Amino acid sequence: MSVHRFCFVCLGNICRSPLAEGVFRHLVEERVLGDRFHIESRGTGGWHVGEPPDPRSIEVARRHGIELVSRGKQYSTRDNERFDLFLAMDRSNRDTLIEMGAPEEKVRLYLSFDPALRAGADRAMEVPDPYYGGPDGFDRVYAMILAAGRGLLERYA
Ligand code: 4NP
């Protein structure tokens, strides 16, 4: 049985990608598929290495029954061997990841796994950075992350 090794990637690894990691792990565990997936997250930047996720990400996850347990980590080329797929939250994260040495064939925009967005090509396939906005930004981000997570799980389950 093959294990899918997924790495969610944003800029700081404290808002979007730890939330995506926690939500996807939750979806996987609901389906009792924990032994089929290895799930982590990274930031392209290193400012928050070792830190817990942003309190606003922790709060929105907790409201949906999900505990976020990751600590901030920065992407490095050593991760190329550890993961099959890097799921970038926005185009800037994707481009930076590739500039930093991630193999292009392993990098996808995470929202490309949302089937609704796949149909509507005019919509931007990006999870907006909620760091400098208010708490409602985190609700929007949660909904986007959940929809893409369901699509990702359907694709690989
Ligand atoms: P994230 O949000 O990329 O979703 O984790 C950010 C968190 C921190 C910073 C930028 C974005 N920062 O500049 O520190």
pLDDT band at 134 (very low <50, low <70, confident <90, very high): confident
pLDDT value for 133: 86
**Residue range 64-113, pLDDT digits in tens:** 999 999 999 999 999 999 999 999 999 999 999 999 999 999 999 999 99
State pTM to two decimals: 0.96
- Among 10, 11, 54, 132, residue to substitute to test ligand 1 (most atoms within 8 Å of Cβ): 11
Q: Which band of pLDDT confidence, cut at 50, 70 and 90, is reported for residue 123? A: low
15, 16, 56, 90: the catalytic one is: 16
Q: Is 16 a catalytic residue?
A: yes
Residue 119: its pLDDT value, please?
57
Residue 117 has what pLDDT?
Answer: 85
Ligand 1, residue 14: give the atom nearest the CA: 5
Q: Across the chain, what does the average pLDDT equal? A: 95
Q: For 1-46, what is each residue's pLDDT tens digit? A: 789 999 999 999 999 999 999 999 999 999 999 999 999 999 999 9
Q: Which residues have C-beta atoms less than 6 Å from ligand 1?
A: 10-16, 47, 129, 131
Taken in order 79, 68, 129, 154, is the CA torsion positive or negative? positive
- 15 catalytic? Reply is no
Give the C-alpha separation, 125 to 113, whole Å.
9
Q: What is each CA distance from 6 to 45, 59, 79, in whole angstroms?
A: 19, 24, 11
pLDDT at 9: 98
Q: What pLDDT, on a 0 to 100 scale, did the predictor assign at position 122?
A: 44
The answer to whether 91 touches 22, Cβ cutoff 8 Å, is no
Mean of pLDDT values over 135-147: 94
